[in-house]
Amino acid sequence: MSEGILSKQDIEAKIDSGDLVLNAVKANLEACSYDLRIGTIFKNGQIINANHPDANRQFDIQPGEIINLFTWEEIKLSSKIMATVFARNAESSFKSLLVLNPGHIDPGFQGLITIKAINLGKDPLSIQRGQKILTIIFEEMPNDSTSPYKREMSIAEQEQKFNDVLVQQNTYNLSQIIVGGSDSPYFTKQEVEAKILDLRSNFATKDDVKSIIISHWASWLSLIFTFIAAVAGVLAVVVSMQPKSENNNQNPIPLESPSPTPSPKGTQG
C-alpha cells in the first residue's frame, strides 16, 4: 500500500485486519471511501443507542431543530493514517439537513464521530439508526505522527459526557440559540433594531443633506459677493490714483476781456 488516499481494496483489507472502521458492513464501501451510519441519537435528554427501548424507531427533526448524533461505526486510525469526513447528501430524505461539523480526524484517533445537524426545511425530517449520513476517506501519511490522538474514555462514557453537556446547554433548535441570552453568539431582534438605529444616527438625514446643500451654496454666494466687493474697492483705489489732466494745471480763463490800453496822444504841430 502506497502513500496517499486509500482505495476500496486498501480500506477493505484494513477493515479485515481490525483497523480503520469497526462494526463496518462491506456494502457501505465505495471506490475510495466508506459511508458511515447513524448509531446514537441524542434527543430530549435521552441517549438512544442499541440498548435503548426505541433503538429501531424513527424520530422526527422539526424545522429549525438541531439534532446531535454519533456514528454507528467506530473509527480506529493508526499513527500514520488520517481521515476526512464529509456530509453525505445523496439521500433524498436528507436534502434539507445541514451537517455543521464534518472535518478531519487526526492519526491515532479511536472512537465514534460526533455529528451536529439542523433541519433547514419547512417540513419535519425523519431519521433512524442505521441510516447513512457521512462519507469518510482515509489517507496514509509519509511518516508516523509524533503526537497521535489518544482516547481517554470508553464509548459509553463518551456518550454520557456528551449528553450531559447537551442537557446543560438545553438548546435543541435555532430559535433557542438566537435568544440564548448574553452568552449567545447571535443578536436578538431588539439588539438588531438597536444596532440599526445606532447606525442610522451616524448618517445624514434628508433634512441634514438639504441643510448642507443650502449652506454650501450660501457660502459660495457669500464668497462671490466678497470677491466682487474687493475688486470694486481695488478699482476705486486705482482710479483715485490717476494723474490730473493738463487743462486743470492752466490758469482759468477770465470771464471778461481786459480793457484796451489807450494809445498815446500825438504831438500837435
**251 or 123: which leads in pLDDT:** 123
pLDDT at 269 over 50: no
Give the mean model confidence (pLDDT) for residues 231-247: 71
What's the pLDDT tens digit per position in 35-73? 999 999 999 899 999 999 999 999 999 998 999 999 999
CA distance 70 to 142: 30
User: Is 19's pLDDT higher than 50?
Assistant: yes
Question: How many percent of the chain have pLDDT more than 90?
Answer: 41
Predicted confidence at residue 183, as pLDDT, reads 55
Higher pLDDT among residues 9 and 231, named by residue? 9
Q: Which of 144-158, 159-173, 247-261 has the lowest mean pLDDT?
A: 247-261
Instruction: Give the pLDDT score at 229.
Output: 83
DSSP 3-state of 88: coil
Q: Which three cell numbers stand for residue 63?
A: 424545522
Which of 16-30, 86-100, 144-158 shows the lowest per-residue confidence on average (mean pLDDT)?
86-100
Residue 268, pLDDT > 60, answer no
Average of per-residue pLDDT values in the chain: 81
How far is residue 162's CA from residue 70's CA, in Å, rounded to a whole number?
A: 10
Strand partners, 68: 42, 116
Q: What are phi and psi of 143, to 5 degrees?
A: -135, 160
SS (H, E, C) 141-176: CCCCCCCCCCCCCCHHHHHHHHHHHHHHHCCCEHHH
**pLDDT(134) > 70:** yes
Closest CA to 39 of 111, 144, 91, 106: 111
Stretch 194-216: mean pLDDT? 72
Q: What is the 3-state secondary structure (H, E, C) of 102-116?
A: CCEECCCCEEEEEEE
**Element (H or E) spanning 60, and its range?**
strand 59-61
Instruction: Report the alpha-carbon distance of residue 98 to residue 126 in Å, rounded.
Output: 14
| pLDDT score at 233 | 79
